[in-house]
Structure 1
Amino acid sequence: METARKQFEDIVYQGMKSYGLDELSSKLLAVLYSEPDPLTLEELSAKTGYSFSAVSATMKLLSRITLADKTKKAGSKKLYFSVQRDLLTMIINAAKIKNEAFVNPALKSLPAIIEKCQKSKTDDSEAMLKLIGEYYQQMVALDLIFKNLSEFTENIQKGMSKG
Structure 2
Amino acid sequence: MHGEKRLEQARERVIDAISQNMHLYGVTESVGRLYGALYFQEDPMTLDEMKVELGMSKTSMSTSVRNLVDLKMVGKVWRKGVRKDLYQAEPDWYQTFIDFFTIKWRAGVSINVSAMEKSLNELQSLINDEHVEEHIKDQARMDIEKLTSALEYYDWINRLVDSFESKDIFNFIPKKR
Could you tell me which runs of 5 or more consecutive residues in structure 1 were left unpaired when the two chains were aligned. Answer: none
**Is 2:146 the counterpart of 1:134?**
yes
Match of 1:4 in 2: 10
Deviations 1:27-47 (A, max 9, x none): 111111222222111111111
How many residues align structurally? 161
**Is 2:161 the counterpart of 1:155?**
no
Match of 1:97 in 2: 103
Matched ranges for 1:45-60 at <5 A: 45-60=51-66
TM-score scaled by length of structure 2: 0.71
Deviations 1:58-92 (A, max 9, x none): 21122122222122322222111122222222222
TM-score scaled by length of structure 1: 0.76
Residues 39 and 80 of structure 1 are in contact (CA less than 8 Å); yes or no, is this contact kept in structure 2?
Answer: yes
Q: Aligned match of 2:27 in 6, 18, 21?
A: 21
Counterpart CA distance in 2 for 1:157 and 1:47 is 37
Counterpart CA distance in 1 for 2:75 and 2:103 is 16
Could you tell me which runs of 5 or more consecutive residues in structure 2 were left unpaired when the two chains were aligned. Answer: 1-6
- For 1:38, give the aligned amino acid: P
Per the TM alignment, residue 133 of structure 1 is displaced from its structure 2 partner at its CA by: 4.8
Per the TM alignment, residue 157 of structure 1 is displaced from its structure 2 partner at its CA by: 7.3
Counterpart CA distance in 1 for 2:76 and 2:137 is 49
Counterpart CA distance in 2 for 1:67 and 1:83 is 6
- After superposition, the CA RMSD in angstroms is 3.0
Q: Aligned match of 2:84 in 69, 78, 88?
A: 78
Counterpart CA distance in 2 for 1:20 and 1:130 is 33
Per the TM alignment, residue 55 of structure 1 is displaced from its structure 2 partner at its CA by: 0.2
Counterpart CA distance in 2 for 1:129 and 1:98 is 31
Percent identity reads: 22
* Structure with max Cα Rg: 2
**Is 2:79 the counterpart of 1:68?**
no
Counterpart CA distance in 2 for 1:128 and 1:102 is 24
Match of 2:4 in 1: none
